[in-house]
Amino acid sequence: QMADPFLYNTGERSQYGCLGHEVQIEHIKAYVCRPSFFTDKAVIVIHDIFGWLFPDIRYIVDLIAGHGYITICPDFFKGTDPWKTTDHWADFADWMKAHDPMKVDKEADVVLKYLKEQCGAKKIGIVGFSWGGMAVHHLMLKNPQLTAGVSLYGRIIRDSEERYNLLNPTFFIFGEKDHTISYDQITLLEEKLKQYCRVAYKIKVYPGQVHGFAQLKPEDMKPEDKPYIEEARKDMIDWIKTFI
């Protein structure tokens, strides 16, 4: 059961004029932003419960593209409704059952094929936020085509030891004041990764930060949070640049 503060305030967001464009890839729509020069490096961004149209996630896509990557955010909800701030919290568990972050393999394969065949991508990384952070954790255990991953405040699912045998370098970002992820869970993740993980990994907790902190656009940040948000973004980009 997740606590209500998981729903960071989406009502007080500024609008965002996107730099990229939308494409249709087989059964999936996606938002793509490319750098101004040719590159064979790409990053897939996995949205949170608010979906691929949410301005915050498109801002992140454009931000990563600005660092020199073909960046794509597919609609992992395949045209179904994302969670809305007007939805009732009591229905969240049922909504999650219908939107399982562990069932993203088919869509990830479609997007990987598109990036390789249509965009000429040779190295592909993945970044995901919240729901997307859970999906990244799953994909970094299952898909060797993903060179590196960053999972931002994805809840840690403790179902088996194989959840820690990552295939490629993965960075886990958490907020210290996240109501959905306890410190014990993060400690356990660290212990288990130490035990089972054979590749590079990193866990970092950002002081005072709540769930969803790293997605905010500059004008939506509180001054006291800004340094930590910027640090998390820089750390995310640095991790990608190290491996991709």
* Amino acid at residue number 139: L
Check: pTM over 0.85? Answer yes or no.
yes
Q: Rounded to whole angstroms, how far apart are CA atoms 141 and 157?
A: 13
State the pLDDT confidence band at 205, using cuts at 50, 70 and 90: very high
> Which residue would you say has higher pLDDT here, 85 or 114?
114
Q: Distances in Å between the alpha carbon of 166 and those of 44, 81, 94, 100, 162?
A: 18, 31, 29, 20, 8
State the pLDDT confidence band at 1, using cuts at 50, 70 and 90: very low
Would you say 235 and 228 are in contact if contact means Cβ atoms under 8 Å apart?
Answer: no
**206-209, long-range: CB < 8 A, 24+ apart:** 206/173, 206/174, 206/175, 206/176, 206/231, 206/232, 207/176, 208/175, 208/176, 208/177, 209/175, 209/176, 209/177, 209/178
State the pLDDT confidence band at 162, using cuts at 50, 70 and 90: confident
Q: Which domains does the chain have, with CATH numbers?
A: 21-243 (3.40.50.1820)
pLDDT at 87 over 90: no
- Can you tell me which residue has the tokens 């996995």? 46
- Can you tell me which residue has the tokens 């479609």? 110
State the pLDDT confidence band at 9, using cuts at 50, 70 and 90: low
- Can you tell me which residue has the tokens 């939805």? 87
3-state secondary structure of 165: coil
State the pLDDT confidence band at 153, using cuts at 50, 70 and 90: very high
Q: How close are the terminal C-alpha atoms of the chain, in Å?
A: 36
- pLDDT digits 0-9 by tens, 118-137: 999 999 999 999 999 999 99
- pLDDT digits 0-9 by tens, 16-56: 888 999 999 999 999 999 999 999 999 999 999 999 999 99
Q: What is the mean pLDDT of the chain?
A: 92
